[in-house]
Amino acid sequence: MNAPDFTLPIADKKPPRVDHVLIAEMVEAGARVLDVGCGDGELLQLLAERRGVDGRGVELQRDKVNACVASGLSVIQGDADRDLDNYPDQAFDYAILSLTIQATRQPKTVLENLLRIGRRAIVSFPNFGHWRVRAGLLFGGRMPMTDNLPDLWYLTPNAHLCTIRDFADLCERVDATVERAVAFNRNDRRLPIKWSLSMQNLFGEKAVFLLQGDKRP
Amino acid sequence: MTAASPDALASVARRQSEIHAPSSPVVHFDAGAPLRLACQQNLAPFSIAYETYGTLNAAKSNAILICHALTADQYVASRHPITGKPGWWDNMVGPGKPIDTDRFYIICSNVLGGCMGSTGPASIDPRTGVPYGLNFPLITLGDMVEAQARLIDHLGIDQLFAVIGGSMGGMQVLEWTSRFKDRVFAAVPIATAAWHSSQNIAFHEVGRQAVMADPAWESGNYYASGKVPRNGLAVARMAAHITYLSEEALHRKFGRTLQDRSEKTFSFSADFQVESYLRHQGSTFVDRFDANSYLYITRALDYFDLRDNAGGVLANAFRGTKTRFCVVSFTSDWLYPTRESRRVVQALNAVAANVSFVEIESDKGHDAFLLDEPTFHATVRGFLNAAALKRGLDTTERPA
pLDDT, chain A, mean: 90
Is residue B286 situated within a structural domain? yes
pLDDT (mean) for A184-202: 93
Measuring CA to CA, which residue among A143, A153, A150, A101 is closest to residue A122? A101
Number of domains in chain B: 2
pLDDT for B13: 84
Tell me what pLDDT residue B10 has.
78
Peptide bond into B45 cis (omega under 30): yes
Cβ distance B349 to A86 less than 8 Å, yes or no, reads yes
Of the residues B333, B341, B362, B367, only one is catalytic, namely B333
pLDDT > 80? residue A159 = yes
CA angle B154, B155, B161 (to 5 degrees): 125
Q: Residue B395's pLDDT is what? A: 55
* Residue among B358, B361, B382 minimizing CB distance to A71: B382
Chain B CB within 8 Å of residue A65 CB: yes
Structure confidence at residue B399 as a pLDDT band (50, 70, 90)? very low
Q: pLDDT-derived band of residue B64, with 50, 70 and 90 as boundaries?
A: very high
Domain edge (last residue) among B298, B321, B346: B298
Which residues of chain A neighbour B318 with C-beta distances below 8 Å?
none
Which residue, B298, B315, B341, sits at the end of a domain?
A: B298
Same-domain check for residues B127 and B257 = no
Secondary structure of residue A64 in the 3-state scheme:
helix
Are both B120 and B239 inside the same structural domain?
Answer: no
B167 catalytic, yes or no?
Answer: yes
Contact A87 B356 (CB under 8 A): no
| Cα angle B43-B48-B53, degrees, rounded to a multiple of 5 | 160
pLDDT at B53: 98
Task: Mark whether B158 and B187 lie in a shared domain.
Answer: yes
C-alpha–C-alpha distance, residues A192 and B246, integer Å: 59
Which member of A2, A56, A72 has the closest CB to residue B382? Answer: A72
Residue B61 one-letter amino acid: S
Question: Does residue B361 sit at the A interface (CB-CB below 8 Å)?
Answer: yes
Active site residue B377: no
Residue B189, helix vs strand vs coil: strand
Q: Sorting pLDDT into bands at 50, 70 and 90, what band is B15?
A: confident
Residue in B78, B109, B167, B293 annotated catalytic: B167
Residue A6, pLDDT score:
42
Instruction: Note the pLDDT of residue A14.
Output: 79
B384 shares a domain with B279: no
CA dist A53 and B248 (Å) reads 43
Identify whether residues B69 and B188 lie together within a single domain: yes
Q: A18-212: which CATH topology?
A: Rossmann fold (3.40.50)
Look up residue A46 and give its amino acid.
L
- Whichever domain contains B340, its CATH number is 3.40.50.1820
Q: Is residue B115 part of a domain?
A: yes
- Could you tell me which chain A residue has the CA closest to the CA of B375? A66
CB contact under 8 A, A91 and B398: no
Q: What DSSP line would sit under B137-152, residue for residue?
A: PP--HHHHHHHHHHHH
Q: What is the number of CB-based contacts under 8 A between chain A and chain B?
A: 87
Identify the CATH number of the domain in which residue B275 sits: 1.10.1740.110
Q: Which residues of A touch B342 (CB under 8 A)?
A: 78
Q: Which residues of A touch B326 (CB under 8 A)?
A: 69
For residue B129, what are the contacts with CB-CB under 8 A and spacing of at least 6? none
pTM: 0.92
| Mean pLDDT, range B46-63, rounded to an integer | 97
Domain that holds residue B290: 201-298
Per residue in B233-269, pLDDT tens?
999 999 999 999 999 999 999 999 999 999 999 999 9
Q: Does A191 touch chain B (CB under 8 A)?
A: no
Confidence of residue A1 (pLDDT cuts 50, 70, 90): very low
The ipTM value here is: 0.84
Give the mean model confidence (pLDDT) for residues A114-118.
Answer: 96
Tell if the CB–CB gap between B358 and A66 is shorter than 8 Å.
yes
B366 included as an active-site residue: yes
Chain B CA closest to residue A92:
B352
Q: List, as ranges, residues 80-139 from A with C-beta within 8 Å of B.
A: 83, 86-88, 91-92
- Give the chain A residue whose CA is nearest to the CA of B387: A72
Q: Over 60: is that where the pLDDT of B280 sits?
A: yes
Residue from A2, A6, A49, A94 to probe the interface with B (highest B Cβ count within 10 Å): A6
pLDDT computed for residue A148 by the predictor: 83
B22 and B48 in a single domain? The answer is: yes
Distance of alpha carbon A23 from alpha carbon A28, whole angstroms: 10
**Strand A206-212 relative to strand A118-126: parallel, antiparallel, unpaired?**
antiparallel
Do B205 and B350 share a domain, yes or no? Answer: no
The predicted structure's pLDDT at residue A13: 64
Does the pLDDT at position A8 exceed 50? no
For residues B48 and B126, state if they share a domain.
yes
Q: What are the structural domain ranges in chain A?
A: 18-212
Residues of B in contact with A65 (CB under 8 A): 357-359
Half-sphere exposure of residue B138, counting CA atoms within 13 Å on the CB side? 10
**Chain B nearest C-alpha distance from A67 (Å):** 8
Q: Residue B220 in contact with residue B293, Cβ under 8 Å? A: no
Assess whether B166 and B257 both reside in one domain.
no
A61 in contact with B, Cβ within 8 Å: no
Asked whether the predicted pLDDT for residue B151 surpasses 90, the reply is yes
Share of chain B above pLDDT 90, in %: 92
What confidence tier does A215 reach under pLDDT thresholds 50, 70, 90? low
- In Å, how far is A209's CA from the nearest CA of chain B? 24
- Kindly state whether residues B53 and B178 are assigned to the same domain: yes
Neighbour-count burial of A205, counting CB atoms closer than 10 A to its CB (0-12 exposed, 13-18 middle, 19+ buried):
buried
Interchain contact, A66 vs B357, CB within 8 Å: no
**Contact (Cβ atoms closer than 8 angstroms) between residue B369 and residue B330:** yes
What stretches of B271-357 show up as alpha helix (H) in DSSP?
273-288, 291-303, 314-318, 338-350
Q: Is residue B253 part of a domain?
A: yes
d(CA A34, CA A160): 22
Percentage of chain A exceeding pLDDT 90:
81
Judged by CB atoms closer than 8 Å, whether chains meet at A62 and B358 is answered as yes
Q: Say if A185 is an interface residue toward chain B (CB within 8 Å).
A: no
Q: List pLDDT tens digits, range B162-191.
A: 999 999 999 999 999 999 999 999 999 999
Residue A7 reports pLDDT greater than 70: no
pLDDT attached to residue B225: 86
Examine the domain organization and report whether B62 and B168 are in the same domain. yes
In the prediction, which pLDDT does B9 show? 74
Both B46 and B163 in one domain: the answer is: yes
pLDDT tens digits, one per residue of B295-327? 999 999 999 999 999 999 999 999 999 999 999
In a domain, B10, yes or no: yes
pLDDT at B278 over 90: yes
Inside any domain, residue B399: no
User: What is the reported pLDDT for A3?
Assistant: 40
Per-residue pLDDT reduced to its tens digit, A29-83: 999 999 999 999 999 999 999 999 999 999 999 999 999 998 889 999 998 999 9
Contact state of B389 with A66 under an 8 Å Cβ cutoff: no
DSSP-derived 3-state class of residue A177 = strand
User: Of B298, B321, B338, which residue sits at a domain end?
Assistant: B298
For A90, the closest chain B residue by CA position comes to: B352
Chain B residues within an 8 Å CB radius of A7: 389
What whole-number distance in Å separates Cα of residue A108 and Cα of residue B174? 35
Residue B133: inside a domain: yes
